[in-house]
Amino acid sequence: MNKLDNIKDIVAVASGKGGVGKSTTAVNLAVALGTLGKNVGLLDADIYGPSLPLMLGVKPGTRPQIKDQKYMVPISAHGVECNSMGFLVDEDTPMVWRAPMIVSAFKQILTDTAWSELDYLIVDMPPGTGDIPLSLAQSVSVSGAVIVTTPQDVALMDARKGIELFKKVDVPLLGVVENMSTHVCSNCGHEEAIFGSGGGESLSEDYGTEVIGRLPLDLTIREQTDCGYPVVASSPAHAAAKAYLQLAENVDRRVGKLHSEGSTGPKITISND
């Protein structure tokens, strides 16, 4: 049996550029969906710069066990099954590979992981819209994509490119996440839109979708992530954790709406090239 048959819905978390908090969003979204009672897997598709092992607090040197001499047993962290190139190489080892090798590695991690019965597989896509993310999107037909951006113009410009990529490969857009929407002072709690405001709303209106999450620039998120404890797991009562939970609820709602409208489940197409 194909292990991907165990997965109900595949959701890509993507961005047009790096540095907008995409991986942090993917990790907390996965943990938040688990909090909602979903069985969740998390796949790190950023082969060049895998960061999920650190964010999930997995001990360096941890390797997946091998089942039936082929399948990698996913690592479990914070109630989420996960796999990453970061589990297969030393953390200081650079991936000096050309695009065909990167795509091949991704396909192997995806298809040769012994995923359990999952409601969601969250795929943390690599940043950008070059050859690699395009190839990945064409290889894996996902249920929908979440685009992560920050409010400033340069990030929004690249987010549009990310949306256009998914449009070209017929992947439904679940919505826009405006990360670092406001900054919350850790001393007084004052909230300020230091990167501007209204960018996510404008972007979502242009593409006929909605802002499904507004996430603060909060010191707690950074501190907990660096320690390997996603804020949703470590501080569920924190305002930032509640924002991620709201995002998870919106993603689940949007995917359910797609199914009610007749959208089919995920299909996997692996070429022989």
pLDDT tens string 184-198: 787 887 888 888 778
pLDDT number for residue 273: 47
pTM: predicted TM-score of the whole model, two decimal places: 0.91
pLDDT higher than 80, residue 130: no
Question: Higher confidence at residue 175 or residue 156?
Answer: 175
Asked if residue 40 has pLDDT above 90, the reply is yes
Judged by DSSP in three states, 259 sits in helix
Q: For position 190, what pLDDT does the model report?
A: 82
pLDDT tens digits along 96-110: 888 788 888 888 899
Residue 271 has pLDDT above 90, yes or no: no
Domain 8-259, CATH number (from 3.30.360.10, 2.60.40.420, 1.10.1610.10, 3.40.50.300): 3.40.50.300
Spell out the residues 6+ positions from residue 89 whose beta carbon is closer than 8 angstroms to its own. Answer: 95
What count of Cα atoms within 13 Å lies in the side-chain half-sphere of residue 84? 33
Average pLDDT score, the chain? 88
Q: For 205-249, how does the pLDDT look when each residue is reduced to its tens digit (9 = 90+)?
A: 999 999 999 999 988 898 998 899 999 999 999 999 999 999 999
Q: Average the pLDDT over each of 11-20, 49-58, 134-143 and give the range with the smallest value.
A: 134-143
Least confident of 17-26, 45-54, 183-192: 183-192
3-state helix/strand/coil string of 21-79: CHHHHHHHHHHHHHHCCCCEEEEECCCCCCCHHHHCCCCCCCCCCEECCCEECCEEECC
Most confident of 25-29, 169-173, 183-187: 25-29
- Per-residue pLDDT, averaged over 167-194, amounts to 87
Pairing of β 173-178 and β 75-77: unpaired
The one-letter amino acid code at 110 reads L
What was the pLDDT predicted at 270?
Answer: 47
